[in-house]
């Protein structure tokens, strides 16, 4: 930032902020269109816009990567936003998830007769927030991204106005989310007080070149930031909202939320903890240690008694959040790469899983008991096998992407001396295995005559999403090399 004689010159590298501009722009276009157009904007148009925007973002990330290869990582807009490998890959993952979720939501909207452009407008805005979080290099910008992401989601959760529990879930999410945001911004203020800046690079520089004699303010600030993040990623004990919201939200929204919130929040968490507070590693690591043990083991144990597919997946995603935290805990290049790899494999898997759950929910989106899956694989082998593969991937079985995801974060932890941590996390995976397997068994069990055994209609868009999710899961399970190399390559370009 060069301030001269009252004028402010800020150089802006537009390529960097293009993904946010595209997503937000598409959202605005749809908003204006729906206000100007006399009739309701057809769902096909809004979905097509979302798809076009996310594809455009994917193309942009390709050019960003080329730019990165040529001139290395850089920051722009007064160092508030960065272009580095981590942000580029995370942006691409978000774009992919948005596109997949949009297709699922389209088929859902047609089935449920939910009209209007609201879903697309809000989803695009939310994803713009998530992308902003992956690029943000300033606590205030992270907060901005977080709020844009969350505000869209609060409304999306309640988008099916006819359902009482959706409204209830939205209210719960909104109130707790509001608290978390307030805590986060207060943490940012305290860090500003301790270091004199909210810019992450400046914070890092300050902490690297000064000895903080009275670190109380800094620690309090860091802790509050962490609480804000822990809420967003649903780490135990800040997870209470997640099962209710997962269950109450319309299923395609749940899938969308599960994928992009994780990517955005973890990207920003890494930015704050590793880039900003990396010098304080020894201080925050023990806290993470406890958080990880609680999250992995808690998520797995609490999932055991669940009989509802969406609640089960909520707890399973808590368990996954614990695993991803293991990568952050490592605090090394290897750990960051592992976190990125985990996010990149987890996001498509979870969107595809929720796509199947959406289909199984049937008209009214209500059949979510595990019993309704009985014999699915016998009636519809492809659909059943797809779900089995996705569940096995979340379990961490080899030859699926989930195995290498778990493997890479655990490897990073062991490399940093976290043998006990890795072991506990893995044992929690063994607990988690039992509920994934129970579900898989139900899929392959003899169909029950009393339950309605009508075939589930698989619309083309959702079928494509499931195909992409399963395909990626298997492809990366057999051949993880390129993505692992990309993740490591991306982390080398990480702006310190």
Which residues would be at the binding site for other proteins (CB under 8 A)? 337, 392, 397-399, 403-404, 407-408, 410-411, 414-415, 419, 422-423, 426-427, 429-430, 433-434, 437-438, 441, 444-445, 479-481, 484-485, 487-488
Q: What whole-number distance in Å separates Cα of residue 82 and Cα of residue 64? A: 11
Q: How many CB atoms lie within 10 A of CB 472?
A: 21
Give the rounded distance of the alpha carbon of 245 from its chain centre.
15
In angstroms, rounded to a whole number, what is the distance separating the alpha carbons of residues 125 and 119? 10
Token output for 169: 């879930």
Q: Which residue has the tokens 């001139």?
A: 71
Closer by beta carbon to other proteins, 174 or else 436: 436
Handedness of CA 309, 429, 298, 180 (dihedral sign): negative
Nearer to other proteins, 337 or 351 (CB): 337
In the complex, minimum distance from the CB of residue 403 to other proteins, in angstroms, rounded to a whole number: 8
Residue 257 C-beta: closest distance to other proteins, Å: 29
Q: How far is the CB of 177 from other proteins (least distance, A)?
A: 35
Structure tokens at 452: 């309605």
| C-alpha angle 175-358-305 in degrees, rounded to nearest 5 | 70
Q: Which two tokens stand for residue 22?
A: 């595209």
Nearest distance in Å: CB 307, other proteins: 16
CB of 491 to other proteins, least distance (A): 10
CB 316 to other proteins: min, Å: 16
Nearer to other proteins, 24 or 65 (CB): 65
Nearer to other proteins, 351 or 433 (CB): 433
Q: What element of type H or E holds 232? A: helix 216-233
Closer by beta carbon to other proteins, 315 or else 407 = 407
Bridge partners (DSSP) of residue 308 are 369
Helices (H), 37-84: 43-71
Q: State which residue, 65 or 219, has the beta carbon closest to other proteins.
A: 65
Least distance from other proteins to the Cβ atom of residue 378, Å: 9
Residue 474, token pair as written in the block: 């298997």
**Closer residue to other proteins, CB minimum distance, 253 or 433:** 433
Nearer to other proteins, 81 or 401 (CB): 401
- With residues binned 3-state (H G I as helix, E B as strand, rest as coil), the percentages for the chain, rounded to 5, are 75, 5, 20
Q: State in angstroms the smallest separation of the CB of 63 from other proteins.
A: 25
Question: Is the torsion defined by CA of 239, 244, 247, 253 positive or negative?
Answer: negative
Q: How far is the CB of 213 from other proteins (least distance, A)?
A: 35
Backbone angles phi, psi at 374, to 5 degrees: -60, 125
From CA 258, how far away is CA 264, in angstroms rounded?
11
Nearer to other proteins, 59 or 426 (CB): 426
Cβ 239 vs Cβ 297: under 8 Å = no
């Amino acid at each position: 930032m060069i301030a001269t004689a009252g004028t402010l010159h800020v150089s802006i590298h537009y390529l960097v902020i293009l993904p946010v501009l595209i997503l937000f722009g598409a959202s605005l276009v749809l908003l204006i269109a729906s206000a100007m157009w006399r009739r309701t904007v057809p769902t096909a148009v809004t979905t097509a816009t979302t798809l076009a925007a996310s594809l455009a973002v994917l193309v942009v990330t390709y050019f960003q990567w080329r730019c990165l290869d040529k001139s290395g990582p850089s920051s722009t807009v007064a160092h508030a936003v960065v272009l580095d490998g981590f942000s580029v890959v995370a942006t691409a993952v978000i774009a992919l998830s948005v596109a997949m979720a949009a297709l699922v939501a389209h088929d859902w909207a047609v089935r449920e007769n939910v009209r209007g452009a609201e879903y697309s407008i809000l989803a695009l805005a939310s994803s713009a927030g998530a992308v902003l979080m992956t690029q943000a290099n300033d606590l205030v910008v992270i907060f901005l991204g977080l709020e844009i992401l969350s505000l869209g989601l609060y409304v999306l959760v309640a988008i099916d106005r006819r359902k009482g529990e959706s409204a209830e879930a939205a209210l719960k999410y909104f109130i707790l989310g509001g608290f978390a945001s307030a805590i986060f911004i207060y943490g940012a203020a305290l860090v500003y007080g301790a270091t004199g800046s909210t810019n992450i690079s400046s914070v890092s520089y300050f902490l690297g070149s000064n000895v903080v004699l009275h670190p109380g303010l800094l620690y309090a600030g860091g802790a509050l930031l962490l609480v804000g993040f822990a809420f967003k990623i649903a780490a135990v004990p800040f997870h209470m909202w997640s099962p209710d919201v997962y269950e109450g939200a319309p299923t395609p929204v749940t899938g969308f939320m599960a994928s992009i919130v994780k990517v955005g929040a973890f990207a920003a968490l890494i930015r704050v903890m590793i880039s900003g507070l990396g010098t304080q590693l020894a201080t925050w690591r023990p806290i993470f240690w406890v958080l990880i043990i609680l999250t992995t083991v808690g998520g797995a144990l609490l999932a055991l008694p669940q009989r509802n597919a969406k609640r089960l997946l909520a707890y399973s995603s808590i368990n996954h959040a614990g695993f991803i935290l293991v990568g952050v805990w490592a605090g090394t290049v290897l750990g960051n790469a592992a976190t990125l790899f985990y996010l990149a494999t987890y996001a498509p898997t979870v969107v595809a899983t929720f796509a199947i759950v959406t289909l199984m929910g049937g008209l009214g989106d209500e059949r979510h008991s595990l019993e309704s899956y009985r014999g699915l694989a016998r009636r519809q082998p492809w659909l059943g096998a797809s779900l089995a593969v996705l569940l096995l991937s979340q379990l961490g079985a080899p030859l699926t992407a989930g195995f290498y995801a778990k493997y890479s974060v655990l490897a990073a932890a062991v490399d940093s001396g976290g043998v006990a941590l890795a072991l506990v996390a893995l044992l929690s995976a063994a607990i988690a295995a039992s509920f994934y397997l129970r579900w898989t068994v139900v899929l392959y069990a003899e169909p029950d005559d009393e339950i309605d055994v009508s075939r589930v209609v698989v619309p083309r868009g959702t079928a494509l999403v499931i195909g992409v999710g399963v395909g990626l899961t298997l492809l990366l399970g057999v051949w993880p090399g390129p993505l692992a190399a990309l993740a490591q390559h991306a982390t080398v370009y990480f702006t310190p």
